[in-house]
Structure 1
Amino acid sequence: MTLLVVSPDYASHLLPLATLATEWRDRGERVVVATGPATAAIVESFGFERVHLQLGRGSNPGVIRAEEQVAEEDASLRGFFDATRLGMVETLSYQARERLTDLMWQPVATARAVLDVVAAVRPDQIVVDHLAFSARLALVAGGVPFADVVLGHPTALPVGDEVYGCPPEWPAAFGGAGAGADPALAGGRTTVESSNHPGTWFDDASVVRAAGDASVARADAGAAPEGVAGLRELCERVDASFTAEWNAALAELAPHLPPSTSAFGEHGDLLLYNYPGELADPEREALLPPHVWLGSAVRAEPVDAEVAAWLAGGADPDPTPDLDPTSEPDLDPTSDPDPAPAPFVYVSFGSFLSVRSDVLGRVAEALRRVGVRAAIALGSGDRADLGEVPSDWLVREFLPQVTLLDAATAAVTHGGNNSVTEAMTAGVPVVVLPFSTDQFAGAAALERTGVGVALAPNTATVDELAEALRHVLDLPTRDPGAAGRLAGLAASLRETPGRARAHAALTGRG
């Protein structure tokens, strides 16, 4: 049996897809990954075959830097980073405008290259990154069944009255005078109606089916930042433009197929959500096409000697951070004859947003104020922005995230889906500082379920960050119900990993 994995040339996309594919590999089955050269080493590290497939102009082998991209991608990234400093609606608007020209790179030629790969590999199953639009277009045009892996928050596939790029749910910290998307603006579109793939080649027993009435529109999600109405209008224009681009390519590749009513609503035969169903918005469930909640795609990491030594050397005679800023510290080293590992907070803004080391600097000051150890993945950020780094902290450009989350007491994150789902699998509550795209809806879900605190990265003060840290570090005391939900979620995600759920859904074998 052969599994074909189709991924953009980005580590953050390939890593969860490759992790899902390890279930096939470990069962002695063949895995072939179609991607670009920047992530070739990642493919090799998993022991998979690789075939060349370039899906876009950019790449990211692990830590992304604008100056390492081609000229067009360099300018795009720098514009994005600048937009994140202006505000949330400004960032989302910038990203929406970029989508007018940057969603499908050479779509017809790329689609034909994808179909050539399929013909050469002859796979039994195919899994594709949902955001690999040209690849999905190819498979739709070629009538090739495939599983569509939504690696981000579930709202990456809009349903009901949602519009791609305009989050339907926002954390309280971003609320403003503007309201969320008005249901009166809904076009009644659902993903079930707009898909060219109604097939049932997958294992029905593993799948949550769509509800009988898929036209039910979900209620407005609540307050959104000032300017969201204009953002929604822009996103609707992007939707129309992208759909026209999709249909033009589809007409050239497969003129017998009907045009799409919304390209952003297109999807594969089976949706695999790399997200815990326990965190999903229950109001969206009735609108979803056939799907499986994978929970997470937590990868195994090689032992990092420096990190292992740091974790082993972290015993503390007084392992309690300063959760009460008015309390006096216990300075007696003999008060606990058997020191426990000192609590620590894992901090990472991912491969893109680590460039916002100005925000990391405020987080670092809050950590010092609370008096807790930290492991900080600096990425492309400037270490000088962290200020004075205590001797018992671990700061590196790259850190093994899964390893550190497994031992952490809490985490600070930008809200990327890999970081969120890996933290949930480890049972680690989070302070989330969302900057862009689906991070806002993801942060709102963490806030709604009580397993995280969401703050606005541009405006959160050191005092606010410190209080948020105290809350998540002391979650069992401050919110026992949320702590219990988090523990139950972590147990479920560990008991049946996402890779096992994916394999069962695609093969009918557990």
Structure 2
Amino acid sequence: MKYKKICFISPPFYSHFNPLLVLAKSFQEHGAEVTVGCSIEFKEKILEEHLNFYEIDISSNKNIGEGEHTIQPDTERIRLEEFFESTKKGAIETLITQSRHRKADMLYNPQELVDKIKAIDDSLAADLYVVDILSYSVTLSLYALGLPFITFCPPHPNTIPKEGDYFNVPKSWPTAIAIEEKELRGLEQVSTQTQKEFTEVFNNLITENKSVKKISNAFSLVSDIAVIYNYFDFNNSEKNEEQPKRIFIGNSFKAATLNGEWLEKIDTKEKIIMITLGTFLSNRKDVLEKLILGVREIHPNVLLIVSAGSHAEELKKYHSHNTIIESFIPQIALMPYVDTVVFHGGCNTLTEAMYYGKEMVILPFSSDQFNIAYDVEKNKLGSVLDPNNFSKEELANAFNDREEISTESLQYWKSISRKRGADYAAKQIVKVD
């Protein structure tokens, strides 16, 4: 079947919207008429790409660039602060907090959303929908209405639990993150309860709206056509001849050009290190400060570029001729010029760094970052540190101990990334005459 009219429905999260938008553009370039449904804050970006826009709110929680500065309802702000505090207590406490927040975060007015999706379908008559894996209410609506859809998975593939796995519980941990068995069992119990609650909501609504088959795990409900992963096929899992297809694209970002002002800033013969903890985790001022001081002592001559979010002004005291601290940096445009990227293990930064073959130091805090850090460590693509407990010596080793990083492996996955991207998926989904 050739899909002519495709509707992408995006969550109002900056880190998920951007790769989804790039994928939508690729589908358009391969002949499909594409509409992107999202909240009004993202309308301009959608129209800039000459895509159709449909206004729809699918979450009360939003992140339009800097997480803590996005206007949020009081309940969302409270939960955001709870999350930040939990990251200071370690991996298990953070994941427990996130699991307990999932219902409010990701199951937004499911019955109301069914009606909204039905209205979209009546208006657009789309042949196919593309939905982000974390937009559980949208997936539920599409499934209950019997509409054809593809699942897009921007985070780590283990975000979709397989039979016997726990949602939001890493299957493997990087060696830097110490986990006690008792705490892990507690996380698994919370995960099981969250899964039960989600699945009950799903099945109750499925019964009310359509006589479709009930499900066993809401977090495992995906398209029966295809799942597109914005990740690397480290475990040889891609299956294009089966249903659903499993497509690993390796990157979904739009290359950017660095402007003249920034080119002047980075005009140096020294190495360049970039520190970026993402739009939310840049809230961890204590970690940013420790990293800045550590890098300056270990490598006094490198050019250090720091994305500091809302703490930029407070951290400007460390600004110098070779230390650039900004609230926002043009990360994608800077990436080709950087030697080492220090980051939180977010999937977007990972795919950008891998595309350009950059050395990585990862400090995972939450969500899928532990799975990503494990993959990076296992495949000798970078070093991993505990963000709450790393020493100056461990930071120095992460930069200097090249035995733990395989240039051959990094170059191999860089070449895979260059061969794939959003176009790789679009060609397999949109059937060209």
Q: TM-score normalised to the size of structure 2?
A: 0.92
CA distance in 2, matches of 1:456, 1:288: 39
Do the aligned partners of 2:30 and 2:430 also contact (CA within 8 Å) in 1?
no
1:57-114 CA deviation, whole Å, 9 max, x = no partner? 0212111116721111111101101111111111111111112444311101112202
Question: Residue 348 of structure 2: which of 400, 406, 418 is its match?
Answer: 418
Give the CA deviation at 1:509: 4.2
Give the CA deviation at 1:141: 1.2
Give the CA deviation at 1:22: 2.0
Question: Residue 494 of structure 1: which of 418, 421, 427 is its match?
Answer: 418
Give the match for residue 229 of structure 2: 273
Give the match for residue 250 of structure 1: 206
Do the aligned partners of 1:4 and 1:34 also contact (CA within 8 Å) in 2?
yes
CA distance in 2, matches of 1:298, 1:479: 28
1:232-279 CA deviation, whole Å, 9 max, x = no partner? 01100111111001111222221x1121111111001210011011xx
Give the CA deviation at 1:387: 5.1
Do the aligned partners of 1:274 and 1:295 also contact (CA within 8 Å) in 2?
yes
CA distance in 2, matches of 1:282, 1:30: 32
Do the aligned partners of 2:106 and 2:136 also contact (CA within 8 Å) in 1?
yes
CA distance in 1, matches of 2:293, 2:378: 27
Matches within 5 A, 1:19-418: 19-27=22-30, 29-65=32-68, 68-178=71-181, 227-254=183-210, 256-269=211-224, 270-277=226-233, 280-281=234-235, 290-301=245-256, 303-311=258-266, 313-314=267-268, 316=269, 342-369=270-297, 370-371=299-300, 372-385=302-315, 388-418=318-348
1:174-224 CA deviation, whole Å, 9 max, x = no partner? 13442xxxxxxxxxxxxxxxxxxxxxxxxxxxxxxxxxxxxxxxxxxxxxx
Give the match for residue 374 of structure 2: 444
Q: Highest CA radius of gyration, 1 or 2?
A: 1
Do the aligned partners of 1:424 and 1:490 also contact (CA within 8 Å) in 2?
yes
CA gap of 1:305–1:117, structure 2 versus 1, over 3 A, is: farther
Give the CA deviation at 1:284: 10
Mind listing any 5+ residue stretches in structure 1 that lack a counterpart?
A: 179-225, 317-341
CA distance in 2, matches of 1:444, 1:288: 28
CA distance in 1, matches of 2:311, 2:206: 41
CA distance in 2, matches of 1:425, 1:283: 20
Matched, 1:483 2:407: yes
CA distance in 2, matches of 1:258, 1:442: 33
CA gap of 1:495–1:176, structure 2 versus 1, over 3 A, is: closer
Give the CA deviation at 1:397: 1.2
Report the AA paired with residue 244 of structure 1: E
CA distance in 2, matches of 1:4, 1:368: 48
Report the AA paired with residue 314 of structure 2: A
1:404-458 CA deviation, whole Å, 9 max, x = no partner? 1121111011011111111111111211001101110110000000101111101
Do the aligned partners of 2:357 and 2:411 also contact (CA within 8 Å) in 1?
yes
Do the aligned partners of 1:408 and 1:428 also contact (CA within 8 Å) in 2?
yes
Do the aligned partners of 1:66 and 1:74 also contact (CA within 8 Å) in 2?
no
CA gap of 1:66–1:244, structure 2 versus 1, over 3 A, is: farther
Report the AA paired with residue 352 of structure 1: F
Report the AA paired with residue 247 of structure 1: N
SS of equivalent to 1:126: strand
SS of equivalent to 1:381: helix
SS of equivalent to 1:395: strand
CA distance in 1, matches of 2:20, 2:374: 25
1:2-25 CA deviation, whole Å, 9 max, x = no partner? 331110111111100111122233
CA distance in 2, matches of 1:177, 1:10: 32
Report the AA paired with residue 263 of structure 1: A
Do the aligned partners of 1:301 and 1:402 also contact (CA within 8 Å) in 2?
yes
Mind listing any 5+ residue stretches in structure 2 that lack a counterpart?
A: none
CA distance in 2, matches of 1:348, 1:33: 28
CA gap of 1:23–1:67, structure 2 versus 1, over 3 A, is: closer
Report the AA paired with residue 82 of structure 1: E
CA gap of 1:466–1:92, structure 2 versus 1, over 3 A, is: same
CA distance in 1, matches of 2:54, 2:190: 37
Give the CA deviation at 1:227: 0.4
Aligned residues: percent identity?
Answer: 26
SS of equivalent to 1:227: helix
Give the CA deviation at 1:48: 1.9
CA distance in 1, matches of 2:344, 2:404: 23
Aligned length: 426
Give the CA deviation at 1:154: 0.5
CA distance in 1, matches of 2:138, 2:190: 25
Do the aligned partners of 2:111 and 2:205 also contact (CA within 8 Å) in 1?
yes
Give the match for residue 431 of structure 1: 361
CA gap of 1:283–1:32, structure 2 versus 1, over 3 A, is: closer
CA gap of 1:305–1:58, structure 2 versus 1, over 3 A, is: farther
- What RMSD in Å do the two structures reach over aligned CA positions? 2.3
Do the aligned partners of 1:10 and 1:38 also contact (CA within 8 Å) in 2?
no
